């Protein structure tokens, strides 16, 4: 896919470039694109987590007798958010942020998958800790845990996935 001809990519660039002068003296364009796309994807996942937790799973646990296992509503919500954020995040990183990467797309996808599993595992551990040990409300715990994981994610994306 040629990013110069892709309408959605061009729209994203126009919106991002409109706001870039505000922070241009503080961060370079790649870092700005990464932060803006990452924050957009993160906020999307927060909204989806809240909606899934509240309305799809109704804050209840789900018991699957076939495998004799119970899933909490926050675990299921986090899993669905992971799938959606993974796809959206990879596409944004590949076609908007790290467009100059010389790595093949399948290698980028594999590396992105590894980093996503690592950061999602860290996020889930923090989520579980905040909810079960510290008694935080799940939606608030999700926001806090993902904020902590953002720095780790940035370092992995910049220095490994799209190097």
User: And the tokens for 8?
Assistant: 């959605």
| 77 within 8 A of 49, measured Cβ to Cβ | yes
Domain boundaries, the chain: 26-161
> Which positions of the chain have pLDDT values less than 70?
1-5
- Compute and round to an integer the Cα radius of gyration of the chain: 17
Which tokens is 82 given? 């992971």
How far, CA to CA in Å, does 109 sit from each of 43, 115, 127? 22, 10, 25
3-state helix vs strand vs coil in the chain, percent to 5: 75, 5, 20
77 neighbors 57 (Cβ within 8 angstroms): yes
Closest CA to 108 of 153, 37, 161, 159: 161
pTM of the model: 0.80
* SS3 assignment, position 71: strand
pLDDT at residue 26, rounded to an integer: 95
CA distances (Å), origin 37, targets 15, 85, 98: 11, 11, 11
Question: 126 and 145 in contact (C-beta within 8 Å)?
Answer: yes
Q: What is the pLDDT of residue 45?
A: 93
Token duo for residue 36: 């803006």
HEC profile of 37-58: HHHHHHHHHHHHHHHHHHHHCC
pLDDT tens, residue by residue, 44-91 = 999 999 999 999 999 998 888 888 889 999 999 999 999 999 999 999
Measured in whole angstroms, how far is the alpha carbon of residue 83 from the centre of its chain? 9
């Amino acid at each position: 896919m040629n990013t110069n001809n892709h309408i959605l990519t061009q729209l994203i660039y126009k919106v991002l470039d409109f706001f870039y002068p505000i922070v241009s003296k503080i961060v370079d364009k790649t870092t700005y694109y990464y932060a803006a796309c990452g924050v957009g994807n993160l906020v999307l996942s927060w909204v989806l987590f809240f909606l899934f937790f509240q309305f799809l799973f109704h804050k209840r646990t789900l018991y699957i007798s076939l495998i004799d296992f119970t899933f909490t509503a926050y675990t299921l919500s986090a899993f669905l958010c992971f799938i959606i954020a993974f796809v959206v995040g990879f596409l944004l990183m590949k076609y908007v942020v790290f467009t100059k990467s010389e790595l093949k797309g399948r290698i980028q996808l594999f590396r992105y998958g590894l980093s996503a599993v690592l950061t999602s595992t860290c996020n889930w551990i923090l989520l579980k800790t905040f909810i079960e040990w510290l008694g935080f409300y799940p939606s608030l715990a999700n926001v806090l845990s993902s904020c902590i994981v953002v720095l780790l994610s940035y370092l992995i994306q910049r220095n490994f996935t799209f190097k």
